[in-house]
Structures are given as C-alpha cells and as structure tokens.
Amino acid sequence: MTYGPGPLRADAVTRRALAGLVLGRIGVDGGSRAILPFLPVVAAGLDLTFRDLALLVALRSATGLAGPRLARAVRGRSRRSVLVGVCLLTCAGCLALIAPTTVLDTVHVGLDGRTLMVAAGFMATGLARPLFDIAAQSWIAGAVAPGRIGRATGIVELGWALSLAATVPAAGMLIGPFGWRVIGLLTAGYALVGAVAVARLVPRGQVRERIPAPVARPVRCRVPALVVAVALTVAAAESLLVVYGAWTVDDLGLSAVSVGLSALVIVAAELVGELVAATVADRWGLQRTVLAGLAVLAPVYLLLGSAGLPLAVVAVVLWFAAFELVLVALVAMGTAMPTRSRTRTVAAVAAAIGVGNLIGALLAPLVYDRGGMALSGPVAALFVGAAAAVLVGDSVLVRRRGLAHVEQPVAALEGVDR
C-alpha cells in the first residue's frame, strides 16, 4: 500500500510509524533488559542460585532459535497486528515473573510452581524480542528507500537504549521499598504502552517511501557469514551482560541503587552508538561501520577485567557505544541484502541474535566463576576477533568471485517478498 500522491505524505507516514516502532521497542526490550542488572537480587527473592537464574536467562535466549520459523508468522500478515501481539506477549511474560503461584504449587507436576511460572515468563519475553525484530525490520525493508535503511534501523534501535533508561534506574530505586517484583510491574506497564503506540502510529498496510536516497555501498558478504558474525558478536556481549550485575557488586562494590543509576551512563553510551549509526552508517558503508566498531570492542573487553572504578566507567561507555554501533549496522546489513526473501534474511539474523544470546548466557556463569571479569573480558574479545575474521574472510572471497550484494531500488524488487 502506498500512501499519498507524493514523497511528503509517504515520509510523514514513515516517520509516524518509526516513532511507533521506537515506543513498541521500549516496551518489548524493557521486558528483557530490566532484570539483568538485578539478577543477584531476583535470585535471592526467588530462592534460586545465581547460576540457576542464569540458566533461565539462557532458556529465554534459546527461544531466539525459532527465528526462521517465526518468519512465517510475519509473512502474509499485517505487520502492525504482529507488533501489537508481541507487545502484549511481553506484558504477559513480565506479569508471569511475579504472578502468585499458589495454584501451581498445589498441582503435583514434579516442578516447583514458582520456578515454572518464572520460566514461562522468561520464555514469553524471549520469544517476543525476535518476533518484534523480524516484523519491524521487514516493515523497514519494504517501506524505507535503499540507502536509508541504516538510518531507519538506527532510529528504531533507539528504543533499545531508551528501554534501559525507562526501567533500570526506576527499578533500582523501587526495589528497596517494594521488593524485586516491582521490576515485573514496571516492565509490563511499558509493554502495554508500547502496544497502544504501535496500534495508533504504525499503519495497517505497507508504506513505500518515495524520497530519493543516495546510492548505497555494496554489502560485500553473504548471508551465512553475516549470521555467524552476528552470533559471535552478540555472544561476546551477552556473556558480559549476564554477569554485569555480579561484577559491579563483587569488583566495584556498587549497591542495587548505584547499579540502577549507572544505567543512565549505559543509556547515554548506547544512544551515542545508535545515533552515530543512524547518521553515518549508510555513508561509511554498513560493513565498514561493523569492522570499525569491532576494532574498538576487542581492546575494551580486554580492559574490563583489570579496570578500577574510574577506568571501568570509561570502558563500559565505550563497550555499549561500540556494541550498539556494530549491532545496528549488522541488522541493517541483513535488511539491505536484496535476497529472494528479505523476511527470511531478517529472521535468520534474529535467529543468530538468539543463538548468540544463548551461547553467551550459558558461558557467562561458567567463565565468570572460574576467573571473574579478568577471564570473561578476554573470552569476549576472542569472540569479537572471530566475528571480524569471518566478515573480512568472506569479503575477500566475495570480491574475488564478484558476488557483492548491491542494494537495489524498490522498483527493482517487485515480486520479491519483503
């Protein structure tokens, strides 16, 4: 569906839709992000060990493996309907984390009722995130002109940083007087607001932007290499995110309130990375942007384990800024590739994010228990180096064989599933 007789109307609808996607992203990402900095507190409240709760986080990440199959839920359906449903699923998952379990405890199913309910909540929020990414990026692929996909992806990715700003500082201050369950109530509320925003701002049909865009640089890698690079990059970050709360308490001596307030520094760093990606990624080239960000991440990860508090703050800022720059560019690469089915390519990238989250969540407690952040940092740096090697190696093969993917105008993709 094309809106209006000219570029101005199409662009106005696209901007409204992007605003709706940002608000929906805040709700969905808040459901998965808010709990990580407070894992030790939540584990104590649930009477679970830190490792047990980390395994539940890994279970949540495992749902991302369903990414390619989730593409079928998006194809042929209204993107808005899928996005609204995902926000409501997040709301239900957040409430499940804190729901009373009296009824479940009376049923003899061989599992503790509370653990069962918490696992269901983790799985719901884990399923919601890749579904939202697939639907949102599929919408962008069909609505945004070539050469602007990196910008649009960076704008939507702002919701990732804003979700942390909206949830973690407030949760850090409210946990003391109200207990850890306030995290679930807070994130459920944001998810409900996101559902309303998507329903009001994202159009029912597909938008096609008519504004001329600069010619995009070719993407000099293939989908399999991109998927591997995404998984390695996300695994490195997730292996550190899972133990971030424990690291700040064990090594840096921060309290729950301080951890919550430190999220503001992380938010600022992520916003910088996302805004840089939205501003320059298309101009630099998406792949060059990824490699530049990876070159920053590797030494930063090595620095984390040996840093005192002042240097740790600098390292954390660089970590989150560079990671967001890399992730935005990687997702935009998958969206921009003119494959036969962009929805499937986006789903493959979402699945790679799920695989990376799963690997990182499983490795995190094992590595951290053996050597703390002094070992976790170098392991993450190794993963980042491997991701860069995969992209560079595949680019060499692509150049030799002349297989570069050049972004095509929308008119050249008629008949291709977007």
**Domains in the chain, CATH or no CATH each:** 7-407 (1.20.1250.20)
Residue 418: pLDDT over 50: no
Residue 2: pLDDT over 80: no
DSSP state of 339: -
pLDDT one-digit tens code per residue, 378-407: 999 999 999 999 999 988 887 777 654 444
Element spanning 183, H or E: helix 182-201
Cβ(132)–Cβ(93) below 8 Å: no
Q: What is the model's pLDDT at position 205? A: 61
Q: Which of 19-23, 368-372, 383-387 has the lowest mean pLDDT?
A: 368-372
Residue 1: pLDDT over 50: no
In angstroms, how far is CA 41 from the centroid of its own chain? 23
Highest mean pLDDT among 208-217, 337-346, 379-388: 379-388
pLDDT one-digit tens code per residue, 45-79: 777 777 777 778 777 877 767 655 666 666 666 78
CA distance 404 to 47: 53
Cβ(193)–Cβ(23) below 8 Å: yes
Q: What is the 3-state secondary structure (H, E, C) of 42-74?
A: HHHHHCCCHHHHHHHHHHHHHHHHHHHHHHHHH
Cβ(26)–Cβ(19) below 8 Å: no
Q: What is the model's pLDDT at position 233? A: 96
Q: Which of 67-71, 100-104, 251-255, 269-273 has the lowest mean pLDDT?
A: 100-104
